[in-house]
A and B are shown apart, each in its own frame.
Chain A
Amino acid sequence: MTGPGSGPSVGLGPSPGVGIGWRAELARFIAGTDDLRFVEVIAEGLTAGGPLPRPLAQLKARGVRVIPHGVRLSLGGADKPDRRRIAHLARVAELLDAPLVSEHVAFVRAGGTEAGHLMPVPRTREALQIVAENVRQAQQQLPVPLALEQIAALVDWPEAEMDEAAFLCELLDRTGALLLLDVANLYANARNHRYDPLSFLDRLPLDRIAYVHVAGGLERDGVYHDTHTRAVPPGVLQLLEELCARTSPPGVLLERDDDFPPDSELAAELDRIRAAVNRGARGRAAVP
């Protein structure tokens, strides 16, 4: 493929191309797919002291980049992030020889209660400062760069003083963190909260993208849910193409969490992602 890899390298290494989120149910497919150059693994699912689960150790031995993806640090939470959780993420990164780690701009617990998923931070100046402090604390303890992912959320806080792009840009600015741009989350939020995803893209520091997520969801009760249980819809692929017409992201990763399709469908899905990246890259090349 022509797209990924030619942009500024922010740690993924040369031409990681298209990857997939590693799940036990996908282990066999991933092991049998030679052109996957990077995967992501849920950091909390690994034991910090090792050993790595055999399929991951085999991928690593094959030279596949394995990026730990944290989901429970709660960097957007009111409490300072738990040093033990950050230490775990740090040790997993070392175990995997990962060039970077990723987490979310979200909170997952408050007042001692788990939310059950990634919840949106009220986009106030006050919250921004707290999240930036949390992120800096994590960065100090991590051996590799941290990439932050923007989440999809149905609820929005009435006290928001900034829109999503402003909050995200300011947070990246203040912390120097990299960006894990989730195109499917952007698609979901733009659709549910009725804003233009392209102008969102145009406001982001695209040169800070560590890698990109794509996934498929479904419409229910009049809103789009980013469930990671369906094929990537055309709207998300179009948005990926638009992104790749603007920049060359170091890698694009498919997230699939449930209702796992047959191997042939997954392979076709990865091909559609590559095709969208290549269409975007051709568009970029055509612009003088």
Chain B
Amino acid sequence: MTAERRARLAARQAELITALYGGPPAEGLDARLVTLTSDSLARKRARAVARAWPALARALGADLADQFTAFARVTPPPEGGALADGLAFSRVIAHQRRLPDDARIEGMLATSRVMLRHNRLVPRRGPRLAAVTTGPPRRLVIIASLPPVGTRIVTLGPLTRARSSQPGRRPR
């Protein structure tokens, strides 16, 4: 009895969420207002992502709002807030365009601390080593994290063909 009532309500509420993210319309709801709600949710998420991912926001500039809202209109938000949202978004766009170095480093720093699993942010436990090449001039940026001790960024380079590289450090 209670379970049936709850199941009916669940179905109806799921219908609205589906409609908000590009799915079929929810029965009896004003489609225009559903679209306006969806747009407004996407803009709100875009603002939060721009705050949580400053390098990504700088890299995409005014395009961030357009690209992110296009993504957010069909993608329900993950549980982990703007950090997770930006992570999921940057995965999508990373395939489509090469992001500037600082945005890629920002992404790697985030993934050195947390990972997106089943739409939730999970803190990483073990040590992790990740590297990315930047430039020109080409450098190797190594991000070493050892929770809970912390994260270190080491930049090697500029890398030249025959010579051995000069280690340099960027505090973080």
Contacts and interface: CB of A to CB of B under 8 A. Distances in A.
Interface in A114-129: 114-117, 119, 122, 126-127, 129
A14 B112 CA distance: 47
B3 to A, nearest CB: 10
A179 B9 CA distance: 24
Interface stretch (B25-33, B56-64, B133-141): B25-33
30 contacts: A77-B10, A77-B13, A78-B7, A78-B8, A78-B13, A79-B10, A80-B6, A110-B10, A111-B10, A111-B13, A111-B17, A113-B14, A113-B18, A113-B21, A114-B79, A115-B76, A116-B45, A119-B17, A122-B12, A126-B9, A129-B5, A154-B40, A155-B16, A155-B34, A156-B29, A157-B12, A157-B29, A221-B36, A225-B40, A227-B40
B78 interface: yes
A126 B5 contact: yes
Contacts of B12: 122, 157, 159
A158 B29 contact: yes
B36 A154 contact: yes
B67 interface: no
Contact of A126 (B8, B21, B28, B37): B8
A46 to B, nearest CB: 13
A115 B17 contact: yes
Contacts of A129: 5
Interface in B34-78: 34, 36-37, 40-41, 44-45, 47, 72, 76-78
Q: Which of B13, B18, B30 has the most CB of A within 10 A?
A: B13
Contacts of A77: 10, 13
Interface residues on B, range: 35 or more
A156 B36 CA distance: 13
A258 interface: yes
Interface in B73-110: 76-79
Contacts of B13: 77-78, 107, 110-111, 119, 122
A78 B2 CA distance: 10
A130 B6 contact: yes
Contacts of A107: 13
A223 interface: yes
Interface of B: 2, 5-14, 16-18, 20-21, 27-30, 33-34, 36-37, 40-41, 44-45, 47, 72, 76-79, 119
A107 B9 CA distance: 11
A71 to B, nearest CB: 11
Contact of A155 (B5, B37, B45, B47): B37
Interface string A68-86: 0000000001111000000
6 nearest A-B residue pairs (beta carbon): A78-B10, A158-B28, A111-B14, A110-B13, A78-B9, A110-B14
Q: Which of B2, B12, B79 has the most CB of A within 10 A?
A: B12
A77 B8 CA distance: 11
Contact of B16 (A119, A133, A220, A258): A119
Nearest to A226: B40
Contacts of A113: 14, 17-18, 21, 76
Given A110-B17, A155-B16, A221-B36, A116 B77 contact: yes
A129 B4 CA distance: 13
Contacts of A157: 12, 28-29
A121 to B, nearest CB: 8
A130 B5 contact: yes
B11 to A, nearest CB: 8
Given A126-B5, A154-B36, A114 B78 contact: yes
A155 B41 contact: no
Given A111-B17, A122-B12, A155-B29, A116 B41 contact: yes
Nearest to B41: A116
B20 A116 contact: yes
